Amino acid sequence: MENLLIRPDAVDFSVIPDVPKGTCVAPLKRPSHLGEDWLEPQQRVYTAEEHGIWDDLFAQQMAVLPGRAASSFMAGLERLDLGRGGVPDFGSLSEELRPITGWSVVPVPMLIPDHVFFYHLANRRFPAGNFIRTRAQFDYISEPDVFHDVFGHVPMLTDPVYADYMQEYGRAGWKALAYNRLKALSALYWYTVEFGLIREADGIKAYGAGILSGPLEAKFSVEGQSPNRIHLEVDRVMRTDYVISDMQPTYFVIGSFEELFRKTVERNFDDLYRGLNPGFTYSNQAVLGGDKVYHLGTQDYANRGGQGSGALPA
């Protein structure tokens, strides 16, 4: 570990990275019809009922997102016309997206291993779940489906700086694999790409897909009294634990996508990873001395036990 130094110019991002021996990645079993890149040969064909689920989810989100979602997200949604009716076709979506930022959307069957995910992001391909939730899973689904992935993530890929950040995130995966610090890098993803907030001229807005693709968290994260809202520092976030299946006790706020991009690209991850523990240092409710705090949360929701207790997100 001492002598390990990863030079980005020495890395070939066009091939799937190796997983070094002893590095923990999710133990996912690749379906037998897929190649190493985990891509489905084509997007699945949806039933009328499934297209209807997309339309109803879309309508539900549009009732809460205006005024709470980042302006880049709302602009992307409109630009890609994601409300044209039914589950979007990835091929036409990619044709519209490619001239804007060079990204495309590719179908995958389920969650894919981290190193394969990094490989696609580093090459400006966004892997999107092929399937759509059922009515019984309408408001929450633990695996990312096509609504979460396409509605939640793809509009942001029309923002040129955000699009570059996503590619940099994928490239950063090579180093996290080499140092066996995937958990730290995934915390950065979690607190930006999934649950990130941004300061705009008329207030704090959400740009994270985990927030934007569900019915409750847009209000909770942006306006709720319970969660902390703290300015994002890369090192601090990479040391912070997070919740997977409930609303976050803390959200991190960026000033702009330029700032996020700069703070990530300029950080020397070799130094950072050498000083990091394998586990997290800070709890997800912690407020630290150096934090720039926009809102000090009551933590009422988390302290009452979150959704398991039936606590209302407030």
Q: How far is the CB of 221 from Fe ion (least distance, A)?
A: 15
Contacts (CB under 5 A) with Fe ion, residues 119-148: 144
Nearer to Fe ion, 43 or 273 (CB): 43
Q: How far is the CB of 104 from Fe ion (least distance, A)?
A: 17
Q: What is the x/- site pattern for Fe ion, positions 168-207, by CB under 5 A?
A: ----------------------------------------
Residues touching Fe ion: how many (CB under 5 A)?
A: 2
Q: How far is the CB of 212 from Fe ion (least distance, A)?
A: 10
Is 230 an interacting residue with respect to Fe ion (CB under 5 A)? no
Position among 87, 188, 209, 218 found at the interface with Fe ion (CB under 5 A): 209
Nearer to Fe ion, 72 or 179 (CB): 72
Nearer to Fe ion, 166 or 276 (CB): 166
Contacts (CB under 5 A) with Fe ion, residues 292-311: none
Q: How far is the CB of 289 from Fe ion (least distance, A)?
A: 32
Q: Which residue is nearest to Fe ion (CB)?
A: 209
Q: How far is the CB of 214 from Fe ion (least distance, A)?
A: 11
Instruction: Annotate the chain with DSSP letters as a single string.
Output: -TT----GGG--TTSPPP--TT-----PPPPTT--TT---SSPPPPPHHHHHHHHHHHHHHHTT-TTTB-HHHHHHHHHTTTTSSSSPPHHHHHHHHHHHHS-EEEEESS---HHHHHHHHHTTEEEEES----GGGTT--SS--HIIIIIIIGGGGGSHHHHHHHHHHHHHHHHHHHHT-HHHHHHHHIIIIIT-EEEETTEEEE--HHHHTSSSHHHHHHH-SSSEEEE--HHHHTTB---SSS--SEEEEES-HHHHHHHHHSS-HHHHHHT--SS-SB-TT---TT--EEE----HHHHTTGGGGT----
Q: How far is the CB of 152 from Fe ion (least distance, A)?
A: 6
Give residues in contact with Fe ion (CB under 5 A).
144, 209
